[in-house]
Amino acid sequence: MEAAWAGGVRYFDTSPWYGLGLSERRFGQFLHNQKRDDFVLSTKIGRLLKPDDHFNRPLLWKDYPPFRYEYDYTASGTRRSIEDSLQRFGLSRIDIVFIHDLSSDNEDMKNDWTRYFEIAMKGAAKELTKMREEGLIKAWGFGVNTLEPCLRALEESDPDIFLAATNYSLIEHEDELNRLFPACDKRGVSIVAGAPLNSGFLAGVDRYNYSDKIPEKHLAKRDRIRAIAARYGTDLRTAALQFCAAPSTVSVVIPGARTPQQVNQNIASMKVRIPDDFWSTLKSEGLIASNAPTPKAAS
């Protein structure tokens, strides 16, 4: 976090889900020393944390605190979640709140996500709109890994912004580009591009979208793009991050990082000038969509 701040990063995203409250506590400890108007902070609702010394489910994190989680997309649950987050942060307001993981790829929900969605439309969406009017938050939307919840939310509610993860990257982007972007542009809704490196895959890690199972076609595509990037004097990570930042619909790109070195590498990637011919080559070889926005190299 110190490396990110020193490098000029001023937008931070977290969730009660990350480490079962641990991430929010860490952000609060760090941001406590910064002026509140100097940064933008987003978190999420959808899971309430309950004390439970016996909860021992295998999760992504080590040494998480003694809490279990319960899904709650009601108005009262949303209000409680925000109040809990503010306590963990030690702050009086949150800038952006995302309705989290309400999606068919959530293993706890799968095809039952539509039932949770209806609850969220009657509860969380209206309560977040009310909080926006109160000034407790500035904006809200959905934070999900699939497009359908976002598209439905645009039809049935009044979101400001979406955190759309895993669906817009060098590897896969056509669906979001052609379906979600136009719908958002029509409503003036922006997008936070999450997982721009596909969980590190486009930085050379053998993991794709939170899984060790990598489709062979993605491995082949990565190799081809990496080779072309090398010809033009750049690297895969740099190309991936700049690609995700290029669309006007995208307001910010949020790559993850585990170390200060990774933070600094991500920051450095956004300052590199990539030749226009690199993007033209990717399009001519069918590696990115012909209508995909691309960065313009400074003259």
Please answer whether residues 105 and 150 qualify as being in contact, where contact means their C-beta atoms are separated by less than 8 angstroms: no
Active-site residue identified among 11, 18, 206, 271: 18
Which two structure tokens, joined as six digits, stand for 87? Answer: 């306590």
Question: Residues near 1 by Cβ (< 8 Å), separated by ≥ 6?
Answer: 12, 26, 27, 30
How far is it, in rounded angstroms, from Cα 20 to Cα 61? 9
Among the listed residues 221, 238, 223, 224, the one whose alpha carbon sits nearest the alpha carbon of residue 275: 238
Active-site residue identified among 37, 38, 44, 95: 44
Query: In the annotation, is 13 catalytic?
Result: yes
How far is it, in rounded angstroms, from Cα 119 to Cα 132? 19
Residue positions counted in the chain: 299
Query: In the annotation, is 271 catalytic?
Result: no
Query: In the annotation, is 44 catalytic?
Result: yes
Among the listed residues 182, 19, 178, 157, the one whose alpha carbon sits nearest the alpha carbon of residue 99: 157
Active-site residue identified among 11, 13, 38, 271: 13
Q: Just list the catalytic residues.
A: 13, 18, 44
